[in-house]
Amino acid sequence: MTTVDLPLLPLGRGADLNSERGVECPGDLPAASDPDLVARALAAKEALGDKVFVLGHHYQRDEVIQFADVTGDSFKLARDAAARPEAEFIVFCGVHFMAESADILTGPDQQVILPDLAAGCSMADMARLTQVEMAWEAMTAAGIADSVVPVTYMNSSADIKAFCGRNGGVVCTSSNAEVALEWAFEQKADVEGGAKVLFLPDQHLGRNTAVLKMGLTLDDCVVWDPHRPHGGLTAEQLRDAKMILWKGHCSVHGRFAPEVVDSLRAEIPGINILVHPECRHEVVLKADLVGSTEFIIKTIEAAPAGSAWAIGTELNLVQRLANAHPDKRIVFLDKTVCYCSTMNRIDLPHFVWAMESLAAGTVVNRIEVDPDTERWALVALERMLALPGKTEKD
Ligand code: SF4
């Protein structure tokens, strides 16, 4: 089930499901050293034929992405799966919230498989339903809930999307966050004092969009900290704010620092800084270009030979772009190596284990959202799909 109100813990294999939820691999997990893993994955895929459709997120390892039928960001992949109703099994090489979204958008006869259930997302885990409901109660007590529209980033659990669906809100991606915010502010434009947005769970995407795209100021934004009494805010601060940002962030994109931008500019004259809007505001302010993973890929594809780029997004994608474009100088915008640890949970042994299990008739690691959560999450997703303009990428 997906509505357990506790984070998935990336702790490896273990039998104690209270402390290491979902990391069991019934049956034999192949050894990483097995030289036949690639051949075994190919054989299982061939045996399953059209019954299986393999999705690979841009941040996945090369060893896994080579088996993907389609690559992309989370929303594109979920829609690709929905467009393949003949595929009984959707093997999602990505993280938990992505598999949930795929389950919500695919048909009832399709089963979504996550090869390692410990592939969670630290950002999604920073907004738990009980925490968000407590914040909503505090906003009700402060007399502002009627003017607040909740907006959640795609990178959130299904129950947070459902919360937004139930409360007149919407889901957004990193490419349509501006359109989603415009829509949200319009929903309560007539309320005395004006509309407010509760933005979940990534404070950086919320702040960057509000300030750099919507013309709001930093003073219009407050941060709700779920680990402090009353979110660390007074009722007056809540009443004065236009954007109530949830205190969540991506542990990968939050690492990029403005000092590294400065040192790279000094080191490589003419270098272009290209970052994802999940980066901190002070990093985005120093960048030349800001956009989603699809935007980053297209920008590099269109860049002239000989140009130099420092990219602030997940390292698997940056390395793949560097390998694909040897005529351009592409470097990572961080001094240390930093992959998304949960994305990297999906490795070749887990992929082979999941595929061979399916080929043998055993469905493993199915991600299934309960009907009520699915219904309301779909409401919020469909509101996003009805937004004008871009909704195809994040
Ligand atoms: S890169 Fe960040 S947002 Fe994406 S799965 Fe990893 S922790 Fe979550």
Which of 58, 122, 318 is the best mutation target for the ligand 1 pocket, counting ligand atoms within 8 Å of the beta carbon and taking the most? 122
Where are the extended beta strands (E) located within 23-63? 52-57
In 3D space, the residue among 323, 344, 319, 341 whose CA is nearest the CA of residue 332 turns out to be: 319
**Residue 391: band (very low, low, confident or very high) from pLDDT cuts 50, 70, 90:** very low
> Sheet of 289-290: strands edge to edge?
289-290, 272-275, 308-312, 329-332
Domain ranges of the chain: 37-120+342-363, 124-250+376-385, 253-332
The average confidence (pLDDT) of the chain is 91
The residue among 310, 278, 272, 305 whose CA lies nearest residue 291 is 278
Q: Binding site annotation covers 173? A: no
Mean pLDDT of 323-333: 97
Say which DSSP state 195 is in. -
Question: Rounded CA gap, 197 and 364, in Å?
Answer: 39
Domains 37-120+342-363 and 124-250+376-385 share a fold: yes
- Distance from Cα 188 to the centre of ligand 1, integer Å: 31
Question: Among the CATH numbers 3.40.50.10490, 3.40.50.2300, 3.40.50.10800, 1.10.10.10, which is that of 37-120+342-363?
Answer: 3.40.50.10800
Q: Atom 3 of ligand 1 has which residue's CA nearest to it? A: 250
Helix (H) or strand (E) holding 43, with range, is helix 37-48
Instruction: Return the CATH superfamily for domain 253-332.
Output: NadA-like (3.40.50.10800)
pLDDT, one tens digit per residue, over 42-81 is 999 999 999 999 999 999 999 999 999 999 988 889 889 8
Ligand 1 atom nearest 97 alpha carbon: 5
Task: Give the pLDDT confidence score for residue 24 in this predicted structure.
Answer: 59
Question: pLDDT band at 32, cuts 50/70/90?
Answer: confident
Burial of 12 (0-12, 13-18, 19+ CB in 10 A): exposed
The strand ranges marked E within 108-204 are 111-113, 148-153, 170-172, 196-200
Taking domain 124-250+376-385, whether its CATH number is 3.40.50.10800 is answered by: yes
* 116 alpha carbon, distance to own chain's centre: 17
Cβ–ligand 1 contact at 99 (below 6 Å): no
- CA-CA-CA-CA dihedral for 72, 76, 81, 82, to nearest 10: -170
CB distance 63 to 348 below 8 Å? yes
Residue 170: CB within 6 Å of ligand 1? no
Question: Counting atoms of ligand 1 from 1, which one is nearest the CA of 253?
Answer: 2
In a mutational test of the pocket of ligand 1, which residue from 200, 252, 278, 314 has the highest number of ligand atoms less than 8 Å from its CB?
252
**Mean pLDDT over residues 290-303, rounded?**
96
For the stretch 367-384, pLDDT in tens is 999 999 999 999 999 999
Q: CB of 60 closer than 6 A to ligand 1?
A: no
